[in-house]
Structure 1
C-alpha cells in the first residue's frame, strides 16, 4: 500500500512546492491551488518535474494554509490540490480537505497520478475520495498527450464524486495560464498545452 493511516496529535504539516491564490486554469472558476512536494511516480515528461524531490519545497501547517484560504474566500470558488503526488502525503491531504470541507463552502479538486481503484485500496484514500468533488486520476502518458479539460493525457479520468461539477464545466477550463509572482517569477500552470 502507498498510504499510511497514522495521524499525529500535533498540528498537521504539509511539504508544499507552491501555492497560487487565484487560478483559472486548475478547475472551474477562480481557484486556490496547492502543489504538494514529492512524487515517486515520476511520469516521463511530467509537466511539474520540480515537484518530485521529497526534500525540496517548504513546510506549512494545515492551519497556515487554511488562514490564507480564508483570506481569499470571497475571491475563489474552490481549492485545487496537485503536485507532486498529494496522496504520498495522505494524512496531510486528508487533514487539508477535511478542514476545507468543514470550514468553507469551497469545492475541492485533487489531481493524482494514481488511478481511482489504487486510491480505494486504502482507508485513507477512501476518506479523501468521500470528501472531494472531483478526482483527476491517472499517470501522465506522453504518447497519449491530450492537454485539455484538466487532462494531460487521454488515459487520465475525471471522476465526479459530487454533483458540484460536470464534464462540460471541466472542459471549459482554460488549458494553461501564465502568472507573474510579486518577485517577477513567471509561472506556467494548468495542464501541458498541445505542442509545448
Structure 2
C-alpha cells in the first residue's frame, strides 16, 4: 500500500456543504474520469481521464476538516472506482475523523464484486453506503433520494456485509 501522505486522487471538483448527497451535511468529492459515458449524465465534465487536478489526500482531508458540522463525505464522479487505491485511503481517513462515507458508482454492486481488484473489494467493505448503477435517461426521476434514475439503488454496505444479503435503503 502506498504512503497516504503522498497518495493522490484525480479530482474534478468539491462541494463543501451538500444536503442532497446523503444523510446530514456532507463534503462531496467529484473524482475525475469515467469510461461509462451515460447519455444524459449530469456531470460530463468529469469524463476525461486525464483532466482535473491530482490532489494529495491530506489536502482533501484538510478541506473537510474546516467544517466541524459535517456528518460525512460523499465520493462521486466521474467513476470513483477507477481510482480505487486513493479512494479506499480517503474513506479510511474520513472514518478516522468520525465521518460516514457514501460512494457512487455507475457500475452495479454485483459488477464491482466481480472485479479482480482487492482495493475495490475493500472499498465495498469500508464504505457505508453505495449508490450504484448507471444513469438511464428513460428512467430519470427527480423525486428519488440521492439518485437520478429509478434503476439506481442505495445500498447499505455495512448491513449487506453483516448479513451477506443485499440491503437496499428505501426512498421513504
Per the TM superposition, whether the score is higher than 0.5 is yes
Point out 4+ residue stretches in structure 1 off by more than 6 angstroms. Answer: none
Q: Which residue of 2 aligns with 1:29?
A: 24
SS at match of 1:167: coil
1:119 paired residue among 92, 112, 119: 112
Higher relative contact order (CA closer than 8 Å, sequence separation 6+): 1
SS at match of 2:158: coil
Select between 50-59 and 83-92 the one with higher mean Cα deviation: 50-59
1:157 paired residue among 153, 160, 172: 153
Structure showing the higher strand proportion among its residues: 1
Counterparts of 1:153 and 1:79, CA distance in 2:
22
Q: Which residue of 2 aligns with 1:55?
A: 50
Q: Give the structure-2-normalised TM-score.
A: 0.87
Q: Which runs of 5+ in 2 are unaligned?
A: 160-167
Aligned positions, number: 160
How far off its partner does 1:8 sit?
Answer: 3.6
Q: Which runs of 5+ in 1 are unaligned?
A: 1-6, 173-196
How far off its partner does 1:31 sit?
Answer: 0.3
Q: Deviations over 1:29-66 (max 9, x none)?
A: 11000000110111111010011011221111111111
Q: Which residue of 2 aligns with 1:188?
A: none
How far off its partner does 1:155 sit?
Answer: 1.0
Aligned pairs for 1:1-196 (under 5 A) are 7-9=1-3, 11-72=6-67, 74-101=68-95, 103-121=96-114, 122-147=117-142, 148-162=144-158, 167=169, 171=171
